[in-house]
Chains A and B, each alone.
Chain A
Amino acid sequence: MSLTETFALAFLFGGSAFFLAGTIGLLRFPDVYCRLHALAKADNTGLCLICAGLAILASDWQVAAILAMIWLIGLLASTVSAHLIARHAYLSGQKPVEARKEP
């Protein structure tokens, strides 16, 4: 395995780890705000890392530019949709879960 492939593999595995963390957060976190927080942040980083890994593997500027575009559009869509879902939940009266008081 060449050096570039090792780098790309590291990026891809890192991206998958972020996706896994985001998914676990989506399933385990207590309320809609925490879940959106986990999903929007972790998945965007994961998508960035995976696009970077694929761009390294492709080693072609055109493909890299398309992948960067995919990442940016994904960022835009997930930011706005997370904002809209959170806004709708807040306006329809869902209270965020209170932090547990430390004794």
Chain B
Amino acid sequence: MGLMLDIVIVASLIGLSFQSLYARSLFRCILHFVVFGLAMSLVWARLNTPDLAMAEAAIGAGVTGALTMVAFRRLMAISPAQNQSRPSNRSRLALPIALGAGGLVALLGLAVLEAEPVAGLAGMAVMEALPSTGLQNPVTAVLLSFRGYDTLLEISVLLAALLASQAVTQLDDPDPSILTEQPDTPLVGALLAMIVPLSVLVSVHLLKAGSLGTGGAFQAGAVMAGCGVILALSGRLTSSAQPSLLINLGLSIGILSFIGIGLVPLLYGQPLLALPDVWAVYLLESTMMISIALILLLLFTGSISIRRSDG
């Protein structure tokens, strides 16, 4: 039964990836890519990695889907002919490379099946050192206590991506095209009244759950960004060309607090980024959640800042 399910998921992954490259129009390609992200999160769930499954569903399918949609919309505004343009012709090397890569993956899979578990792997070291961190979720422990460097770089990359996208957007023209048409229906208000508190609740729960089990700043931030995308789409939040101190503080608070807390141990002669206690983990995760949510939301709106819309 489990094997059948796996085969169905893998077959649909291959079909979806083919469709997301070679579908009839660009719009279909995007839709297939979003569904590909959903199928991928199923794969992570089948591989017993709920953290990755959730991150993939929230970021891979949700936020990336919204970003590609809004990019599509802007592309259509510039050159409508792009939607029908076929992807460029396949290179003659494509088939041999695909076959070679497939063969390599199959060989690796066979090797993994044959391999004996080795003592002293990094994963076992993490499980042994887990009690010293005060956390119960090995994923969070790796992300913040053992490999804090990587997480610091990840949040820097996100911020750099936002700055780069802001550098190439036309700043004087906040784009109203992502809004729904006015006046909106009473149903939207009813939906927002339920969805917004629920998604704040879910993201805070994910944040708190990160120390015990599945969850963490990235998933929580993605859920909160999704909430922001809904608010922006329904016209409750509008993009603004005026930089605001509050928004800028929110964007940078994650990386600033990470650097701040990471530098403090140097004063006491301890290594860089050695987190003092569990409270530091909670603090970092909370500030990173705010930054991640705001960065993803501003990537979506493509503006310098956002504000509540008037009226």
User: Using a CB–CB distance below 8 Å, which chain A residues touch chain B?
Assistant: 73, 76-77, 79-80, 83-84, 87-88, 91
Contacts and interface: CB of A to CB of B under 8 A. Distances in A.
Interface in B42-96: none
Nearest to B180: A84
A76 B181 contact: no
Contacts of A83: 185, 187
Contacts of A77: 191, 195
Contacts of B190: 80
Interface string B177-200: 000110001011011001100100
B184 to A, nearest CB: 9
Contacts of B198: 73
A87 B194 contact: no
A91 B188 CA distance: 16
Contacts of B180: 84, 88
Contacts of A87: 185
Nearest to B185: A87
A88 B181 contact: yes
Nearest to B234: A84
Given A77-B195, A79-B187, A80-B190, 6 more contacts: A76-B194, A80-B187, A80-B188, A80-B191, A83-B185, A83-B187
10 closest cross-chain pairs (CB), A and B: A80-B191, A80-B187, A83-B187, A76-B194, A87-B185, A76-B191, A91-B181, A80-B188, A83-B185, A84-B180
A89 B181 CA distance: 12
A13 to B, nearest CB: 15
A87 B187 CA distance: 11
B188 A84 contact: yes
